[in-house]
């Protein structure tokens, strides 16, 4: 016990030991390579980055919106790695590992400064450093922005804690540390804009553990809020830059792709799932696909109820344990930018999004409330940390190369098109025969997602006044599988039925026929649309001729050809009417039009009467057929 007391008096030593422990657990990552998912964009195929630290490259970093982000310091960190290590992946991984270990030590320093508790701060920082949910942020080179921005986050907390400490003691330097904290925040935003929630976190820390809020007069409390205004201004500027980059880069999901009810449902479920993975970090994947259809309402309601109950419970316990509402609001608030209300990309959630939100103070307090001995508490903490370290080592193993990583992701998730697509790319590099199967699985999954939206569109078309909503669903189907003809046909049909939008429908049909020249449905719909568009009759005839070439048994195509050719090629018109009548003898339209066409052909009036009688039998009310039969009989007498 004396040894622990001595160590508690030497926090720098503890910080160094924590750094070494975290780095030691994550160091196997240096043997890993680059992967096909985003690494080419950030490093291996980025000419600006590969050139290393150059004046033009740094200028590009501050002006570029590549990868749909504005994060110049992240680009510069990748450039520095290329300057030092070239394209040797071990060096890039080493930088991320060292940054992560540094973050754990900085968190320890900040928590100890704010709370005065050495061992609880150390345990909380160790949980952060060793948790397997953080493997993605460290082992994925493209996620350098996570570990880099968090270093500035931790430095900002540390400087802010010193500022509060000096201000409370009336010592000089408080303003200087405030400006230092603001500077670290600005640097963090230039590494990853997710730090925009930091001003709100600082307000939470004013409540606990800094306790600047308690006992303060009304004016002093307003001052606490006012001093965060520069932080909020920087955060707003970062948000504007980010929205511009992501909107221009096409990664921001539209309301048609992800309707707000679906986003809200996913956000509620994700809050619960992140908590689950915090306590049971299993089946972790590099990509979690967004569900194709909205979950049942009861699932969303259950998630919302759980979150409301937890919120009420922590607020009720806040008077005795103020860290509970602070910790809960930290978790809920820091996830807001990435919880999916503004949907970026196609993932439902991501392990890397928990890098900042999941911090724990309550575990150490729980041990204290149990009144166990120091030795027992230390033993329990050691067991927990060793268990997390083992799980982290296991999770790191899945990041050894692209094949292992994406095969694991495909195994622990369902319908993961990103996993199968990247597994295909990884296998194709080695000319593996298994690559083709992964490509086919990717296309199958995407086709099934597209089909979901096509079905929704078809259902909405049946509802009066929902044509525009149906078109939105069809457009979503097209966006998922733009190279598949079927979604274009469905979209074209919906557009063609709306007055004034026939030309749009024709373009969709044309796209479908280019993608699949032998798709009779697409050619028939294109022919029908062209026939209803002035000046396109000849092209309509060509499309219907292609339909009967592909499918000689298509009654409607033969009938339409007979109708369109009646004025320009009577013989061909009769041939197609005859084909239509053979295919559908009970069609009074085909029989009547064939009889009408034959009536003017010398020597074929008897055939004309026969077909007109067939039309009359199918439709006894067809007065035109009865009158024409009478005229033809009279002429033959």
Q: What CATH number did the domain enclosing 622 receive?
A: 1.25.40.10
272 part of a folded domain: yes
Q: Decide if pLDDT at 431 tops 90.
A: no
What is the band of 258 on the pLDDT scale with cuts at 50, 70, 90?
confident
- pLDDT, tens only, 130-147: 999 999 999 999 999 999
Q: Which of 357, 385, 400 is the last residue of a domain?
A: 400
491 part of a folded domain: no
519 part of a folded domain: no
pLDDT at 257: 67
pLDDT at 535: 84
Distance CA 93, CA 81 (A): 9
pLDDT at 578: 93
Of 33-42, 286-295, 423-432, the one with minimum mean pLDDT is: 286-295
pLDDT at 174: 95
Q: Decide if pLDDT at 631 tops 90.
A: no
- pLDDT, tens only, 67-118: 889 999 999 999 999 999 999 999 999 999 999 999 999 999 999 999 999 9
Q: What is the mean pLDDT of residues 429-433?
A: 87
Q: Decide if pLDDT at 368 tops 90.
A: no
Q: Which of 344, 376, 400 is the last residue of a domain?
A: 400
- Reduced to 3 states, what is the DSSP secondary structure of residue 348? strand
537 part of a folded domain: no
Residue 450 has a CB neighbour count (10 Å cut-off) of 23
Asked if 73 and 146 touch (Cβ cutoff 8 Å), the reply is: no
Q: What is the 3-state secondary structure (H, E, C) of 313-327?
A: HHHHCCCCCCHHHHH
What is the band of 369 on the pLDDT scale with cuts at 50, 70, 90?
low
Q: Which of 374, 400, 426 is the last residue of a domain?
A: 400
532 part of a folded domain: no
pLDDT at 331: 95
Highest mean pLDDT of the ranges 211-220, 223-232, 478-487, 609-618: 223-232
Asked if 246 and 68 touch (Cβ cutoff 8 Å), the reply is: yes
State percent of the chain over pLDDT 90: 72
pLDDT at 595: 86
Q: What is the mean pLDDT of residues 447-456?
A: 89
Distance CA 611, CA 514 (A): 39
pLDDT at 567: 81
Q: Between these two residues, 618 and 182, which has the higher pLDDT value?
A: 182
State the total domains in the chain: 2
Q: Decide if pLDDT at 401 tops 90.
A: yes
Q: What is the mean pLDDT of residues 172-181?
A: 96
Of 266-275, 354-363, 406-415, the one with minimum mean pLDDT is: 354-363
Q: Decide if pLDDT at 440 tops 80.
A: yes
Q: Decide if pLDDT at 7 tops 80.
A: no
Distance CA 193, CA 496 (A): 44
Q: What is the 3-state secondary structure (H, E, C) of 422-464?
A: HHHHHHHHCCCCCHHHHHHHHHHHHHHHHHHHHHHHHHHHCCC
196 part of a folded domain: yes
- Reduced to 3 states, what is the DSSP secondary structure of residue 289? strand
What is the band of 256 on the pLDDT scale with cuts at 50, 70, 90?
low
> Can you tell me which residue has the tokens 């050809």?
561
Highest mean pLDDT of the ranges 21-30, 340-349, 431-440, 561-570: 21-30
Task: Please state the pTM of the whole predicted model.
Answer: 0.83
Q: Decide if pLDDT at 276 tops 60.
A: yes
Q: What is the mean pLDDT of residues 499-523?
A: 94
pLDDT at 136: 98
68 part of a folded domain: yes
What is the band of 48 on the pLDDT scale with cuts at 50, 70, 90?
very high
Q: Which domain does 636 fall in, by range?
A: 570-637
Q: Decide if pLDDT at 31 tops 70.
A: yes
Q: Decide if pLDDT at 9 tops 80.
A: no
What is the band of 378 on the pLDDT scale with cuts at 50, 70, 90?
confident
């Amino acid at each position: 016990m004396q040894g622990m007391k001595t160590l508690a008096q030497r926090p720098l030593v503890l910080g160094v030991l924590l750094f070494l422990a975290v780095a030691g657990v994550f160091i196997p990552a240096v043997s890993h390579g680059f992967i096909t998912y985003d690494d080419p964009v950030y490093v291996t195929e980025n000419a600006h980055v590969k050139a290393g630290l150059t004046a033009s490259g740094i200028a590009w970093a501050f002006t570029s919106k590549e990868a749909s982000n504005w994060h110049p310091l992240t680009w510069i960190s990748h450039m520095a790695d290329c300057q030092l290590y070239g394209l040797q992946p071990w060096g890039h991984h080493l930088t991320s590992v060292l940054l992560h270990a540094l973050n754990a030590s900085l968190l320890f320093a900040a928590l100890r400064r704010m709370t005065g508790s050495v061992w609880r701060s150390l345990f909380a920082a160790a949980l952060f450093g060793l948790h397997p949910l953080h493997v993605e942020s460290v082992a994925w080179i493209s996620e350098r922005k996570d570990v880099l921005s968090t270093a500035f986050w931790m430095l900002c907390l540390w400087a802010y804690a010193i500022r509060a400490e000096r201000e409370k003691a009336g010592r000089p330097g408080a303003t200087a540390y405030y400006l230092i904290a603001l500077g670290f925040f600005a640097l963090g935003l230039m590494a990853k804009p997710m730090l925009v929630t930091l001003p709100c976190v600082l307000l939470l820390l004013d409540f606990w553990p800094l306790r600047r809020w308690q006992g303060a007069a009304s004016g002093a409390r307003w001052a606490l809020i006012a001093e965060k205004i520069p932080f909020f201004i920087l955060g707003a500027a970062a948000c504007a830059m980010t929205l511009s980059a992501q909107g221009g880069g096409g990664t921001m999901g539209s309301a048609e792709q992800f309707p707000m009810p679906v986003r809200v449902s996913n956000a509620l479920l994700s809050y619960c799932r992140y908590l689950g993975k915090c306590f049971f970090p299993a089946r972790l994947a590099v990509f979690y696909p967004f569900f194709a259809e909205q979950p049942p309402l009861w699932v969303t309601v259950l998630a919302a109820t759980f979150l409301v109950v937890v919120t009420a419970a922590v607020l009720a316990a806040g008077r005795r344990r103020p860290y509970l509402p602070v910790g809960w609001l930290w978790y809920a608030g820091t996830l807001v930018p990435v919880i999916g209300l503004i949907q970026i990309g196609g993932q439902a959630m991501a392990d890397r999004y928990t890098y900042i939100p999941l911090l724990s103070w309550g575990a150490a307090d729980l041990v204290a409330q149990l009144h166990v001995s120091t030795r027992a508490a230390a033993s329990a903490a050691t067991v927990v940390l060793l268990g997390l370290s083992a799980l982290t080592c296991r999770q790191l193993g899945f990041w050894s190369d692209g094949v292992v990583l994406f095969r694991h992701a495909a195994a622990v998730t369902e319908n993961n098109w990103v996993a199968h697509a990247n597994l295909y790319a990884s296998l194709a590099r080695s000319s593996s025969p298994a690559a083709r199967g992964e490509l086919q699985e990717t296309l199958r999954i995407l086709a099934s997602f597209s089909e979901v939206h096509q079905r929704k569109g078809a259902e909405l078309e049946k509802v009066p006044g929902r044509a525009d909503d149906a078109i939105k669903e069809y457009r979503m189907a097209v966006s998922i599988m733009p190279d598949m003809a079927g979604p274009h046909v469905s979209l074209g049909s919906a557009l063609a039925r709306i007055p004034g939008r026939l030309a749009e429908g024709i373009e969709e049909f044309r796209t479908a026929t280019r993608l699949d020249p032998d798709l009779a449905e697409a050619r028939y719909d294109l022919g029908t649309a062209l026939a209803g568009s002035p000046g396109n009759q000849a092209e309509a005839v060509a499309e219907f001729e292609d339909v009967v070439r592909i499918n000689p048994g298509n009654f409607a195509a033969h009938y339409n050809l007979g109708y369109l050719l009646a004025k320009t090629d009577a013989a061909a018109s009769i041939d197609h009417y005859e084909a239509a009548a053979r295919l559908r003898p009970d069609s009074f339209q085909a029989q009547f039009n064939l009889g009408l066409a034959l009536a003017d052909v010398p020597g074929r009036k008897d055939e004309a009467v026969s077909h007109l009688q067939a039309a009359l039998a199918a439709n006894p009310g067809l007065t035109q057929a009865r009158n024409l039969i009478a005229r033809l009989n009279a002429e033959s007498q």
